[in-house]
Structure 1
C-alpha cells in the first residue's frame, strides 16, 4: 500500500508540475463559469421551475466540453511513457502491474475531482454575492456532483484503457473521445427509434443524459451507481490485462 501511495503521489504531481494540467484546470473553470452565467441569464429573462443546478448542467455546450475533459486527462497516462521508453523501466521495476494501473488511474481520477472544486465555489458565490437563498435544493447539488463523480470514474477508466493500447497520445485521445461520443449517442437510441423494441430499457439504463437529468433534480437512483461502478471495474480489469501482457512480453 505504501508503494502504491508513493506512485499515486508521483503521478498526481505530474498534473500540477506540467503547464498542461493548469490549462485543463482553467478550461473547466471557465466553461463551467460560462454555463453558470448562461443559466443565471435565463433565470433573469424568464421565470423557471427548474433549479439553478439543473439549468447549469443542461446548457447546450455542457456535453461538448465535458466529454473532452477525459482525453485531455488520460491520453498521457500510458501512451507518453510508452513513447518515451520509461514505461519499460517501470514495468521491470519491483512493482506489481495492478499498482501501476491503479496509481495512474487514481491520479487521473483525483485530478478530475479537483477540477470540480472551483465549480462548487462558483455555485456558493451565488449566495455570497447576492445574499439571497440559493436557487437550488441541497439534494440537487448532492445528486449533480454524485453523478458527475460516477461518470468521471467510468470515463476516466475508458481513457486509461485507450492510452494503454497505444504509444501515441493523439490516437489515445481520439479513441477515448470516440468511445465516449458513442456512449453518449447510445442514450438517444430510444429518442430516435422509440420505445417499441425489447432493448429499449437497456438504452435507458446506460443513458448518461437521463442519469444527469434525474440526479440534478435530486432524485438519487442506485442503478446508475451499479452501472458506472461495474463499467469502471471491468475497464480497469481489461487495462490491467493489457499492461500485464506488455510486461511479460518484454
Structure 2
C-alpha cells in the first residue's frame, strides 16, 4: 500500500505541476459560474419552485461542458506514457499492474473531486453576499455532489480505459467523449421510443439525466450508487486487463 500511495502522489503532482491541470480547473470554475449565473437570472425573470442547485445542473449547458471534463483529465494517463516510452519502464519496474492502474485512476479522481470545491464556494457565496437564506436545501446540495462524484467515478474509469487503448492523447480523448455521449443519449431512449418495450426499465436505470434530476431534488437512491460503482469497477478491470496484456507481451 505504501508503494501505491507513493505512485498516487506522483501522479497527482502531475496535474498541479502541469499548466494544463490549472487550465482545466479554471475552465470548470468558469463554466460552473456561468451555469450558476444563468440559473440566478432565471430566478430573477420568473418564479420557480426548483432550487438553485437543481436549476444550475439540470440544463443542456451543464451536460455540454461536464462530459468534456473526463477526456481532459484522463487522456494523458496511459496514452502519453505509451507515446513517450515511459510506460514500458514503469511496467518492467517491481510494481503490480493493479497499482499502476489504481494510482492513475485515483489521482484522476482526486483531481476531479477538487474541481468541485470552487463550485461549492460559489453556491455558498450566494448566501454570504446577499445575506438571505440560500435558495437550496442541504439535501439538494448533498444529492448534487453525491451524484457528481458517483458519475465521476464511472466516467473517469471510462477515460482511463480509453487512454489505455491507444498511444495518442487525441484518440483517447475522442474515444472517451464518444463513449460518454453514447451513454448520455441512452438516457433519452425512453423519451424517443416510449415506455412500451421490455428494456425500458433498464434505460431508466442507466439514465444519468434522471439520476441527476432526482439527486438534485434531494431524493437519494441506492440504485445509482450500485450502478456507477459497479460500472467503475468493471471498466477498471478491463483497463487492468489491457495494461497487463501489454506488460506480459513485452
User: TM-score band, normalised by the shorter chain?
Assistant: over 0.9
In structure 1, the residue matched to 2:49 is 49
CA-to-partner distance for each residue in 1:136-165, whole Å, 9 max, x for gaps? 000000000000000000000000000000
In structure 2, the residue matched to 1:80 is 80
CA-to-partner distance for each residue in 1:204-234, whole Å, 9 max, x for gaps? 0000000000000000000000000000000
For residues 25-40 of structure 1, the aligned pairs below 5 Å read 25-40=25-40
The unaligned stretches of length 5 or more in structure 2 are none
Q: Distance in 1 between matches of 2:35 and 2:199?
A: 34
Could you tell me how far 1:60 is from its partner in structure 2?
A: 2.8
In structure 1, the residue matched to 2:3 is 3
For residues 37-186 of structure 1, the aligned pairs below 5 Å read 37-186=37-186
CA-to-partner distance for each residue in 1:82-111, whole Å, 9 max, x for gaps? 000000000000000000000000000000
SS at match of 1:132: coil
1:209 aligns to 2:229 (yes or no): no
Could you tell me how far 1:59 is from its partner in structure 2?
A: 2.8
Q: Distance in 2 between matches of 1:58 and 1:218?
A: 13
Q: Distance in 2 between matches of 1:121 and 1:135?
A: 14
Q: Distance in 2 between matches of 1:60 and 1:51?
A: 17
Could you tell me how far 1:58 is from its partner in structure 2?
A: 1.6
Q: Distance in 2 between matches of 1:101 and 1:60?
A: 32
Q: Which moved more, 1:180-189 or 1:51-60?
A: 51-60
In structure 1, the residue matched to 2:12 is 12
Q: Distance in 2 between matches of 1:109 and 1:159?
A: 11
Q: Distance in 2 between matches of 1:133 and 1:2?
A: 46
In structure 2, the residue matched to 1:218 is 218
SS at match of 1:220: coil
Count of residue pairs the alignment pairs up: 250
The unaligned stretches of length 5 or more in structure 1 are none
SS at match of 2:67: helix
- The RMSD of aligned alpha carbons is 0.4
Q: Distance in 1 between matches of 2:64 and 2:48?
A: 24
For residues 227-238 of structure 1, the aligned pairs below 5 Å read 227-238=227-238
SS at match of 2:64: helix
- Could you state the TM-score of these two structures normalised by the residue count of structure 2? 1.00
